[in-house]
Structure 1
């Protein structure tokens, strides 16, 4: 499956190409189409030579002339531009980013800055699979991405998201020149690869200079610039910014190589850009030496890295090592120490989050920390302030944890305010560090302390919590309301149209059309999306309420235990005995221990929160009761590969509700592999090797029906 003559010398536009062309009106349509195809092949080769090989064949001016000619031909003869290099220039702005299922899970990896923890990782590996070689790679500080090809053609790209699903950023990624729209060489029929989108440091500096000159706020660092750009809904904006990418893993393919080292060679052969500072070492000490050399060289690189990644080379050994729920057991990130600098703390402000947690933030004299200007840093919580003994005016040491999040490490020198109030051994009652407020700085409610943490007791009556709760209420895993991003939520709150999530159900098209930036279509779409959200599943409704410590898994457990929203304490006159019984029942739910149960009780014990829930029910929101399910699938473990007719999360919920489990990889404990469309070959091979029964979706439905379970789930 080789690319058609892309690198052939018979193409006149490869070497010393002409930059002056015959008038287009002198060409027939067939002649124009033939010239356009030659130009496309040449431009793809020039992109590869420039972005992957770093060995361009032509000057920038010659490239621009070829590209311009291709655009003119496509426009003049109305040629199909699917897969053409000209499709990189952007496209119609998107209304929002869709969520897509990954072809294969994009799991994280364990990490540490300590060599001893890497050695412990190595010991665990060798205990399981014996001696192994490692492939050592830079740990890029960008945005992780899945890119999928079929028959060598770009199909789609998605962000990592939660590891199972991510945002579809295909339109944006197509504009990145280093991402080939067509593969080279002998590529597999289906291919899903993982890479890291980043912004080169010199390009980042130029972009920030342009933003400052235009009066715009500069980006904080290259990673934020890359992430913000890639999620921009206007592909033409993405195309105008200097993003690039490194590819480093094959997630799934119709033919999988035997080692990581071979994988990297294959990626290069297929025209996918791979970093050149990658090494294969024979033991963990070689990996430690590699990391130390990369740390010394990091400032000389034109891209940001925050450590190195050490991967078991053998794929067979990887499969034996397996994975945990969120991370793999065959790779480890050996991070660099955080960069640190000293500056003066000028003020402390307290921010209020969605759950009411109060987070103190230090305002600093701007200081450069590892190439990033830092003017704010977290102080974590009241206990951290007391432990540091920090006060306004102190000279403090700042570090960027993971080279991203600035935080205060220690007081280097006390300021005048602090010195005059600092405790002494003879005066233990004297003042010292910054005094944390007893009242919420936003709503004035009493601040409650929970160990080292502080929370506003105002619940959803607190404006800060209210605005954040509205945005959270709308997310896909909750009420799934399209078109309700952060800026629109702020606008609705500022205009007085929405004070709580219940007010969303009172919005009219006329209300929204009267606001800046809204048209009839966008207004009608939001009102319809809100109306369509009135019949959520109970677990989605519980996620939407934003109860501290209640994510999707815990919400499913609560929904199975309580069955209906009516089983929760919602009355205005609910007494303490009822809450005691409620808390006791909570602790019978899987994964709900004493602390989580206490958080859930606190949420429902707040009358303002209960009032919001009652208001939602009064406006016609009807969380669908959850049947108690049963043990029809008790003891059965399923693995799903490919795309089914229903979301994989719905399949997981259905299986779990009836006593079974769904895991991410085939092992000796797997009972069935369920195969949808475009399945991963590696899971099928694993199933064949372990004699695991394979069922397509139809056979899976029959298996469930035999046990009295309806499929697909309603």
Structure 2
């Protein structure tokens, strides 16, 4: 019996039309606070049940939020926290690792097939062994299966399925999921272990992926992967921020077992356990097959992903007689759906901001199989192509993979919208204006845009930048998310204490990173120019600029005041010159560069154009050279007519190796029959041409 029944609101003022303003804490005695906490907990649990299970809330969201906040305030002020309080749903302290826990009873799998013939064979076997039965038909949820154990009505633990015998104890994370009751309602058994499926609703999944893409993070491939990655987070507050839900669908063990599966499912909502509305009891296998076909047609309209239906024998005694194998229960069978192939609806469009500010619209798809790979996003390339294909949210499209790698929208198969998608006028990350440049679009925020910031820091530290080891994608994301990096210049403000306070950072890793950053305070001019991420200015163009102008101030002055003078530099035409001018003319970029220059002092370029002694040769360098940097070696050979590239190909003449050379380049050199020179041999080659490498 729920609190809302039998005029329970007369004894609990927080159920119907609850107050949203409360007396000051200092006016409450400890006994009064304790009583108020008990009433608030009961009310919040009931509101949760009505919202998640009954889909019939008693109060508006604002009133619920006020009750929840009051409960948390009282618990904090009077030290009244308990493990099963509803306030635990907001997370808690991170944990170091998950404990492995044995299940109450094995969580076995079930036989499955997408062939109707196999379903009929299952039915034939059931009839042979136990006679005619009724079946319970349910959706086969495509999420993460878990065991939830309740003792005396309170959530004792939540465990992932694992290997079926034991799994990870993720109780702290499960407590943050709104549809996981901390305490059961009604006339529940003293002991109850139930099986549930944790999942991420499709609209919430698309919204979460959209946020990840706009933050520059890799999106999840499908809701199941998003759920699995979330439920095993070591920080419960991260789980609390992600939109997970649960459906319950089986009793694993209980002190009071029902005689049939349908009775169990009927009791679940009374206890506060949420079940799907798409459950049917059928008399024979033909109706079960028909149920599956109807769910196949309806699956795109469901709020959650399913990949088939489950057919279960209803009678518990018959279930026990059918028994189980070492791997699966024999009383149930999963009739799988065929995978969606190539054709799928567009659920949303996210805007991805690249390192240079380029805006790339990305279609967020209902997950679809393309060449054996599950795809949940596809490039829409640019606004011009979107208009040409007339693509919009709600359209059903055909997805292909360019070169079997990058998914893209090939064409609209069925129009489900009017018109085509239009890019927003402002960047979704920094709210700077988005401007068109021919078929492309760009965010004008520059280094002041957080999306560009992280990619800019990654590029600044990459091989094409200052080559700062230890600053890869993962570590940069962690530093930005922790609030330690709000600009490239902040790299030089990091300290030992900040780093060691982060998860996964020890004394040595912190010291190594700080030493690496410190070693890059006086970079070669070409490295620094490339590291800034100026559009169209990579390592080669940066070396040409360094050779032509000699100092950073000279490059900047030319870019700001006389951009036409840049066009006389090799590799720099009118378009590139304009991009360099626009970069330095941006107030945000100028401010970001000035901040970096407070810590970094780019060296003058010592090399000038030489002769053509090495004309026609192409060099690739790998490993650390003694006495000279790789950039200086590259500048030297280029100054004398050669090309210096970053990867080995059939056009490469020499691969020059220093200490700790990259194995990939060595392997490529062997495959392409490219001559490999150790540093001494390289210097001898230069000396033969009358060239000295300092």
SS at match of 1:138: strand
Does residue 65 of structure 2 align to residue 78 of structure 1?
A: no
Offset of residue 26 of structure 1: 1.1
- How far apart, CA to CA, are the structure 1 residues paired with 2:137 and 2:186? 26
Larger radius of gyration: 2
CA spacing shift, 1:196–1:375, aligned 2, 3 Å: same
Does residue 504 of structure 2 align to residue 517 of structure 1?
A: yes
- How far apart, CA to CA, are the structure 2 residues paired with 1:377 and 1:116? 24
SS at match of 2:157: strand
Offset of residue 197 of structure 1: 0.1
User: Which residue of 355, 367, 372 maps to 1:372?
Assistant: 367
- How far apart, CA to CA, are the structure 1 residues paired with 2:154 and 2:118? 41
Offset of residue 212 of structure 1: 1.8
Match for residue 293 of structure 1? 294
- How far apart, CA to CA, are the structure 2 residues paired with 1:64 and 1:515? 32
- How far apart, CA to CA, are the structure 1 residues paired with 2:39 and 2:501? 52
Offset of residue 213 of structure 1: 2.0
- How far apart, CA to CA, are the structure 1 residues paired with 2:368 and 2:114? 23
CA contact (8 A) 1:2 1:186 kept: no
CA contact (8 A) 2:343 2:368 kept: no
- Describe how 1:451-470 pairs up with structure 2 within 5 A: none
Match for residue 44 of structure 2? 43
- How far apart, CA to CA, are the structure 1 residues paired with 2:333 and 2:106? 17
Match for residue 257 of structure 1? 258
In the TM superposition, what whole-angstrom CA distance separates every residue of 1:634-672 from its partner, at most 9, and x where no partner exists?
xxxxxxxxxxxxxxxxxxxxxxxxxxxxxxxxxxxxxxx
Match for residue 16 of structure 1? 17
In the TM superposition, what whole-angstrom CA distance separates every residue of 1:161-219 from its partner, at most 9, and x where no partner exists?
11100111111001101010101111111110000000011111111122222222211
Offset of residue 33 of structure 1: 1.1
- Describe how 1:494-573 pairs up with structure 2 within 5 A: 517-519=504-506
Offset of residue 21 of structure 1: 1.1
CA contact (8 A) 2:135 2:282 kept: yes
Give the total of aligned pairs. 378
- Describe how 1:101-120 pairs up with structure 2 within 5 A: 101-120=102-121
Match for residue 663 of structure 1? none
- Describe how 1:118-137 pairs up with structure 2 within 5 A: 118-137=119-138
CA contact (8 A) 2:153 2:183 kept: yes
- How far apart, CA to CA, are the structure 2 residues paired with 1:374 and 1:368? 15
- Describe how 1:192-203 pairs up with structure 2 within 5 A: 192-203=193-204
- How far apart, CA to CA, are the structure 2 residues paired with 1:281 and 1:116? 19
Does residue 218 of structure 2 align to residue 223 of structure 1?
A: no
Match for residue 336 of structure 1? 337
- How far apart, CA to CA, are the structure 1 residues paired with 2:42 and 2:59? 14
Offset of residue 376 of structure 1: 7.7
Match for residue 56 of structure 2? 55
In the TM superposition, what whole-angstrom CA distance separates every residue of 1:572-611 from its partner, at most 9, and x where no partner exists?
xxxxxxxxxxxxxxxxxxxxxxxxxxxxxxxxxxxxxxxx
- How far apart, CA to CA, are the structure 2 residues paired with 1:150 and 1:168? 16
Match for residue 574 of structure 2? none
- How far apart, CA to CA, are the structure 2 residues paired with 1:83 and 1:521? 40
Task: Detail structure 1 runs of 4+ shifted over 2 Å in the superposition.
Answer: 1-7, 366-370, 372-379, 513-523
Offset of residue 113 of structure 1: 0.8
- How far apart, CA to CA, are the structure 2 residues paired with 1:225 and 1:378? 16
Offset of residue 262 of structure 1: 0.6
CA spacing shift, 1:2–1:188, aligned 2, 3 Å: farther
Match for residue 175 of structure 2? 174
Offset of residue 4 of structure 1: 11
Offset of residue 2 of structure 1: 8.4
Does residue 156 of structure 2 align to residue 155 of structure 1?
A: yes
In the TM superposition, what whole-angstrom CA distance separates every residue of 1:491-534 from its partner, at most 9, and x where no partner exists?
xxxxxxxxxxxxxxxxxxxxxx99993447999xxxxxxxxxxx
- Describe how 1:118-517 pairs up with structure 2 within 5 A: 118-341=119-342, 371-372=366-367, 377=372, 517=504
CA spacing shift, 1:521–1:99, aligned 2, 3 Å: farther
Offset of residue 407 of structure 1: 12
CA contact (8 A) 2:2 2:46 kept: no
- How far apart, CA to CA, are the structure 1 residues paired with 2:62 and 2:502? 46
In the TM superposition, what whole-angstrom CA distance separates every residue of 1:432-462 from its partner, at most 9, and x where no partner exists?
xxxxxxxxxxxxxxxxxxxxxxxxxxxxxxx
CA contact (8 A) 2:3 2:46 kept: no
CA contact (8 A) 1:135 1:311 kept: yes
SS at match of 2:205: helix
Offset of residue 293 of structure 1: 0.8
Offset of residue 3 of structure 1: 7.8
CA spacing shift, 1:76–1:308, aligned 2, 3 Å: same
CA spacing shift, 1:378–1:271, aligned 2, 3 Å: closer
CA spacing shift, 1:36–1:342, aligned 2, 3 Å: closer
CA contact (8 A) 1:367 1:375 kept: no
- How far apart, CA to CA, are the structure 2 residues paired with 1:99 and 1:521? 30
- How far apart, CA to CA, are the structure 2 residues paired with 1:129 and 1:156? 35
- How far apart, CA to CA, are the structure 2 residues paired with 1:258 and 1:516? 50
- How far apart, CA to CA, are the structure 2 residues paired with 1:114 and 1:367? 35
TM-score by length of 2: 0.51
